[in-house]
Amino acid sequence: MKANDILEHLVAFPSVVGTPNGDIVAWVKSYLESHGAQVTVLPGPEGDRANLFATIGPKDKPGYILSGHMDVVTASERTWTSDPFRLRSEGDQLFGRGTCDMKGFLAAALAGLPAIAKLPLTRPIHFAFSYDEEAGCRGVPHMLRKMGNLCAPPMGAIIGEPSSMFAIRGHKGKAAARIEIHGATGHSSRPDKGLNAIHAMTAVMTAVQNIVDALPNSALDQNFEPPYSTLQIGTITGGRTVNIIPDLCILELEARAVPGVSPTVLLEPIKATAQALEKNGFRTVWEISSTYPALSLDVDAPLARLMEELTGASTLAAVSYGTEAGLYQAAGIDAIICGPGDISRAHRADEFVRTDELAACEQMIVRLAETLQD
């Protein structure tokens, strides 16, 4: 099948983050095995979703990983002009949820497999497809922990997030947290008899704003926009009605940190502020909901030089969005970002990838495999 045909199949699976993904895993597994790949399905601890790892070529020799995630964000936007889970073509554009982020890369990699399988490979190509990347890269760590049993130490990993087929050497790290403040409810006419959880949360919000104000004057990395670490509150919920003292307030926030700065460390003052409320009778719950490290690959790294040969363009220093690449690097595997599509089209209605982008990606992957022959 051509990349377009494979993408049509992949888009038809509504593999929304946080939901079971058995159907798409089974389809990909069948396709890979039909072309001679050795496939291992790696169920996650959730029990209803899995990673998939496959190899073409000798598993006991160092090779390269093609890494992508099978999950997509929801398609709840009302401005879709067609069914988001049915591929629609219009000229050279292919519309559907995940076409750009990042089933387009998966389709290009799978489309290149028949050509790769015909090569006398002396080093392997691996396909590492993960789940729940869109929830903060929750799936791939389970696969990375088993990597030593799946293959010889890889020479590098290409993470196919949309980058307009430029190879990207860096991104910020991220940590997201959820804070619960539990107070005591009661009638709003007697606030002295209760503990207002929303009022208490304002101390946390003030601590967040103080850090936000200080970050532009902290560690800088001009490869990023903005060139400093960031912190933001994403959601806040609490209360039932205006005449009841709210006994629960929940806040979610995230930190994105430049390389060399720990995003979890940025959150520590927020955690301390929340926990300090307990001396006033509140109960607090702090949970890190997701975290992944920054990526920083040297411009002269062998993987970076290889990608310049494969793409015909210089590598770029960094992007502002995050990927699984930092987790690969933290696991001791050099990683770089390169995939079809543009991040500006992701996570929005009428997401699309262009057919020439898919073709360029497939050609790059086959050229990579051709370097793995004697």
pLDDT by residue (tens digit) across 252-304? 999 999 999 999 999 999 999 999 999 999 999 999 999 999 999 999 999 99
3-state SS, residue 34: helix
What gap in Å lies between CA 79 and CA 89, rounded to an integer?
17
Please state, in angstroms and rounded to a whole number, the distance separating the CA atoms of residues 62 and 156: 9
Q: Residue 23 pLDDT > 90, yes or no?
A: yes
Q: Which residues of 290-306 are buried (b: 16+ CB within 10 A; e: fewer)?
A: bbbbbbbbeeebebbeb
Q: What is the pLDDT of residues 156-198, one digit of tens each?
A: 999 999 999 999 999 999 999 999 999 999 999 999 999 999 9
pLDDT band at 363 (very low <50, low <70, confident <90, very high): very high
User: What does pLDDT average to over the chain?
Assistant: 97
231: nearest Cα among 283, 200, 269, 183: 269
For range 36-58, the mean pLDDT: 97
C-alpha to C-alpha distance for 161 and 102, rounded to whole angstroms: 6
User: What amino acid is encoded at 201 in this protein?
Assistant: M
For residue 312, which of 345, 343, 338, 335 has the smallest C-alpha distance?
338
Separation CA 127–CA 29 (nearest Å) = 11
Strands in 140-238 per DSSP E: 156-159, 170-171, 173-182, 230-238
Strand order in the sheet with 248-257: 230-238, 248-257, 173-182, 283-292
Joined together, the tokens standing for residue 288 give 């890190």
| Residue 362, CA atoms < 13 Å, CB-side half-sphere | 22
Phi-psi group of 233: left, alpha or beta (phi > 0 → left; psi -120 to 50 → alpha; rest → beta): beta
As a whole number of Å, the end-to-end CA separation of the chain is 28
SS3 116: helix
Distance CA 165, CA 336 (A): 11
- Coil vs helix vs strand at 133: helix
- Per-residue pLDDT at 374 exceeds 90: no
Residue 320 has pLDDT above 90, yes or no: no
Q: Which residues contact 209 (CB under 8 A, 6 or more apart)?
A: none
- The pLDDT-based confidence of 308 (bands split at 50, 70, 90) is very high
